[in-house]
Structure 1
């Protein structure tokens, strides 16, 4: 019996909405010139917050990037960023009318936490107030009518995938991934499997999230640990640096058009890179600790095996690099377990030093950074890597962007609870 021919899967469109630029050109130039997107927060009051720093997407007008402005009112901030990034990715892929069979174009999108904030329910609570305090009995008579009929649509994590599907008439397979930091790479992995199975010719892949709100910032600090620095925002996020003391909140999104190689060639698409292999794993410990990292090890080993490459083939690692003490150590040890002595030589970049941390969306923006690095042949430096941590022992790129020795890369993401994903990509 003849061996089954593997379906090659490639990325042909990239769209970025990030704290360091909206659109691929602005985003890439910021990476090349070491321009951080972390600053003092401007869109929310910071009094009483654990940190006054954040990476906000400035000058973002959703009406300019969404196909139908009427949907803005039923989108939270994260959704707006994600759907806008999908429009940019589809435009970047230069899909002309009639090139895509709608039934063969699908969507798989990662979503971060879409929190219902207290002010959204203020009118409801007020309607239930009496002289004796809050009265649940008034809910049915007075309060329920003050709930906007479409209010829930702003909170549902599957809505970004739905909006993207409607916008681009993508009637093929559709799914949502809600696995925090790992969501974008898991979405990419699912899209690859869908195309390999012949269920679609192309998939719109992405992830989005926004944590720029006092409630989200407080939650983030409790679960992840924010930097307590108060002097220079741009120096607060310090992946793998000995003086790191926490991460910084942010917001953003990125999307990609992923399609079979044959389909891309038939329509004359410009290809960024081929997805050689993906992998996933979980620690199983329940909490992050310095002995964890098994999930990340399994994810990288699976991705490398599926890709048919060796660690020596990798030109760089695009790291999770959260800038917390424990997470960076766990990640570094995972690299040493997988790569051995090569972990001291393979260049590592950590883009959260530019864009902060915003769970699902951050992983997508970092994946965009990997794809643009492979396209242009340069690796962005990691910002604020000044005092190497001897517990990490990695070849962290710093200073200026450096030329890639190889156009093959591995990009990884890992949640605080140990869910991990990895992808190996190669420029072609």
Structure 2
């Protein structure tokens, strides 16, 4: 079967830079950071008091955009079985569909699907307050042997549905009557690229005409934040520098936690043209690779280099055709060194010719939510014909020999860019997209 072309017709995002595309684009253009003092958690109890919170998102039905009455009723009814990450994922999917003007009933349900990426989702301690209290004896000691009889009955029967990582794709499919291919991918920060790649291939091989592809994630969470501080290289302290994400900069102090979600509506070119849709870009290449050393430690430089090479080979493009690279740019020392090594290996003598932008400098690490939001950032930049600079980049790290974009620079609307993301475990995903 001849491969079909896959185009982007809708975008939706929720991030520390707002919930609508205009505010997101304006923040990038103005160099405005969404990283500020934490409001949803007790900042004084944390090693750092800064985060990229999606403060505009409240979980109110209005946050889901202009949905019709039946969808409003259905979404509102199900909000109680959605944790915040799932709510954000559903909201950006609805916003992307609205942006694409793809109304419910205007597409074939059997040839429409949903593919979503996410982190693993963690419960909050409050979910078990009553159950735990029911198992505490007179000496205030927890008695585990009473859990089955006294504890479990106090846990809400639908508790698990609030935290299953396959639920964003499930809810979006149900709310929009999309009965075709449905998949959920959990590869930490590499999830977004993997979801977009799977969606592209599903349409290209003729198994669907429309796919809503997205990702949602968070590091700002009662339990997840504790895990992040124990596991990830996070910028710690209360000084101003601790509240900045500075990818590839010599003075970077570490990762900044954040939260967000993004979604794209993908269609076959024929389907989009038949309904007169506005085409925003075309996905022309994708890949996901893993790198491991003999001692079973991740070889991120190799996985990054391979992912970039495969995505460009898949797209049929040369290095000279890449307009810019939207880098992972975590802002931690070793992660940036590994990324720079992988990109330098891939780019070779073109390393200083191709601009690299790191959009996490604007909002921090949103977990699985980062990748699609960064793709949207590049597409919006192409529409404005101006690539934003990497916020705060001023002192190059000698071990990161990349052409990091420090100031806004003119670009064309129809150029090719590659978006890269990778996990600490060595999984890297890359997506090549051509603008219009």
Do the structures match in fold with TM over 0.5? yes
What is the CA–CA distance in structure 2 between the aligned matches of 1:354 and 1:234, rounded to whole Å?
Answer: 14
Structure 2 residue corresponding to 1:33, chosen from 25, 30, 35: 30
Give the Å deviation of 1:233.
6.7
Question: CA contact under 8 A between 1:46 and 1:214: conserved in structure 2?
Answer: no
Question: CA contact under 8 A between 1:225 and 1:246: conserved in structure 2?
Answer: yes
1:227 has 2:235 as partner = yes
What is the CA–CA distance in structure 1 between the aligned matches of 2:241 and 2:181, rounded to whole Å?
Answer: 42
- Structure 1: unaligned runs, 5 residues or longer: none
Give the Å deviation of 1:217.
1.7
Aligned equivalent of 1:318 = 326
Give the Å deviation of 1:332.
0.7
Count of equivalent residues: 422
Aligned equivalent of 1:89 = 96
1:394 has 2:392 as partner = no
Aligned equivalent of 2:62 = 64
TM-score (structure 1 length as normaliser): 0.95
Aligned equivalent of 2:83 = 76
Q: Counterpart of 2:208 in 1: which secondary structure?
A: coil
Give the Å deviation of 1:160.
0.6
What is the CA–CA distance in structure 1 between the aligned matches of 2:148 and 2:15, rounded to whole Å?
Answer: 42
Question: CA contact under 8 A between 1:111 and 1:361: conserved in structure 2?
Answer: yes
**Aligned positions of 1:165-180 closer than 5 A:** 165-180=173-188
Question: CA contact under 8 A between 2:241 and 2:253: conserved in structure 1?
Answer: no
Distance change >3 Å, CA 60–CA 97, structure 1 → 2: closer
What is the CA–CA distance in structure 2 between the aligned matches of 1:228 and 1:6, rounded to whole Å?
Answer: 48
Structure 2 residue corresponding to 1:54, chosen from 48, 51, 56: 51
Question: CA contact under 8 A between 1:65 and 1:87: conserved in structure 2?
Answer: no
**Aligned positions of 1:286-301 closer than 5 A:** 286-288=296-298, 292-301=300-309
What is the CA–CA distance in structure 2 between the aligned matches of 1:411 and 1:292, rounded to whole Å?
Answer: 16
Question: CA contact under 8 A between 1:40 and 1:233: conserved in structure 2?
Answer: no
Aligned equivalent of 2:389 = 381
Q: Counterpart of 1:137 in 2: which secondary structure?
A: helix
Give the Å deviation of 1:184.
0.7
What is the CA–CA distance in structure 2 between the aligned matches of 1:328 and 1:144, rounded to whole Å?
Answer: 45
Aligned equivalent of 2:370 = 362
Give the Å deviation of 1:136.
2.4
Question: CA contact under 8 A between 1:50 and 1:218: conserved in structure 2?
Answer: no
What is the CA–CA distance in structure 1 between the aligned matches of 2:2 and 2:149, rounded to whole Å?
Answer: 64
Give the Å deviation of 1:333.
1.0
Give the Å deviation of 1:59.
2.3
Aligned equivalent of 1:24 = 21
Give the Å deviation of 1:235.
5.1
Structure 1 residue corresponding to 2:342, chosen from 317, 334, 339: 334
Give the Å deviation of 1:380.
1.2
What is the CA–CA distance in structure 1 between the aligned matches of 2:113 and 2:143, rounded to whole Å?
Answer: 47
